[in-house]
Amino acid sequence: MKLGVLIKDGPYMHQAMDSAYNFITAALEMGQEVEVFLYNDGVYNTCNFMDPPRDERHIANLLAELQTKGVRMVVCVAAGKRRGIVTNTVCSAGEISGLGQLLELCITSDRLVTF
């Protein structure tokens, strides 16, 4: 099954990305396919400059880990530009693209779940 995941909140501030990370990890272990779309403040999760304390989880690195496991992570270009998540600031796991990709995800996934 293909699961679409929509993330609308930024890192650390809200639990959304943490919940999504745990959900996606579980889904991958169960053999499901996952694709992520980052919208609204969700684009901040891909900021390449985040540098949390060493004993704290590094959310952009968690995204990189998901990417190595085959999860595509699309960053909304409009939401990203407005907030400063652009080519110069996005982490390697984030793929900047348009809102059409969110509709594509609605079409191609079996379920869309929002965090």
Partner 1 sequence: MEEQEKTKVMFLCRKAPYGTIFEQEAIEAMVMFGAYEQDISVTFMDDGVFSLKKGQDPSLLGKKNFSKTYMILKDDFEISHLYVEKESLEERGLTEDDLITEVEILDRGALRKKMDEMKAFIPF
Partner 2 sequence: MLHIIKKSPYESTALSDFLKYLKENDIVLLTEDAVYAAKKGGKFEENIKGILKSNAVFCLMADTKARGISDAEIIENIKLIDYKGFVDKVIEQNPITWA
88 binds, among its own copies, partner 2, partner 1, none (CB under 5 to 8 A by kind): its own copies
Query: Which residue among 57, 81, 82, 111 contacts partner 2 (CB under 8 A)?
Result: 111
Active site residue 47: no
**Residue 3 binds which one of partner 1, its own copies, partner 2, none, with CB within 5 to 8 A depending on kind?**
partner 2
Torsion of CA 2, 38, 57, 61, to 10 degrees: 80
Exposure class string for 92-106: b at 16+ Cβ within 10 A, else e: ebbebbeeebbebbe
Q: In this structure, are residues 50 and 94 in contact, taking their beta carbons and an 8 Å threshold?
A: no
Residues lying near partner 1 in the complex (CB under 8 A) are found at: 4, 6, 12-15, 18, 21-22, 39-40, 55-57, 78-79, 98-100, 102-103, 106-107, 109, 111-112, 114
